Amino acid sequence: MSKNFNIDYTSSLQLTATVPVSIGKWYNANYVLTCYKDRYKSSDWYGYSFDRSKWATMLNLSNTFTFSRKPMVALDVNAFFRTPTIVGLWNYSRQWNLDAGLKCQFLKNHAVVALNVSDIFESGMPLLKEKFYTQRQTTDVRFYRRSIFLSFTYKFRNFKEQNAGSVDTSRLGY
């Protein structure tokens, strides 16, 4: 049995603080803390109603460590954490994630070799659960999320970057 319905009401209150950190020329970071409250309400979901809300917190840490300027060698480490939250009837478990990337520029910055690993511990996806009256469902997509990329880029010496110019927004009524 399937039924299309709209949620009668949804709202989100969000507070975000960003702290940029720089130590010399070797470390740059942005720390972002977000606290939010989501609310979902429906008057008719298969004959039932719900009004759910929950506070949650997210923390993003973006870090760049520069080991050398010539040749340029840098390590990016990004971390993410979110407390359990809700989306509609779904309960999301806590989730966290760690990504890292090493980049080296050489040949007068014309060549770049980069190695990136995303979701190193395969923990970036939440476990999804729905438990509402007689409805019980669990979705586990917390596997095979890690990816590894190795890239090489070369910018030819006679290559000249072009500016895109301005975008014509007159058709949009601006």
pLDDT along the chain (174 residues), means of 10: 73 97 96 98 88 97 96 97 95 96 93 96 91 89 87 85 75 71
Q: Report pLDDT for 138.
A: 93
Query: Residues 127, 82: contact at Cβ < 8 Å?
Result: no
**How many whole angstroms separate alpha carbon 132 and alpha carbon 154?**
55
Residues 6+ apart with CB under 8 A from 158: none
Q: What is the DSSP-derived secondary structure letter of residue 144?
A: S
Q: What gap in Å lies between CA 10 and CA 54, rounded to an integer? A: 12
Residues in the chain: 174
What pLDDT, on the 0 to 100 scale, is given for residue 160? 73
pTM to 2 decimal places: 0.79
Are 101 and 113 within 8 A, CB to CB?
Answer: no
Token pair of 46 as six digits: 């298969």
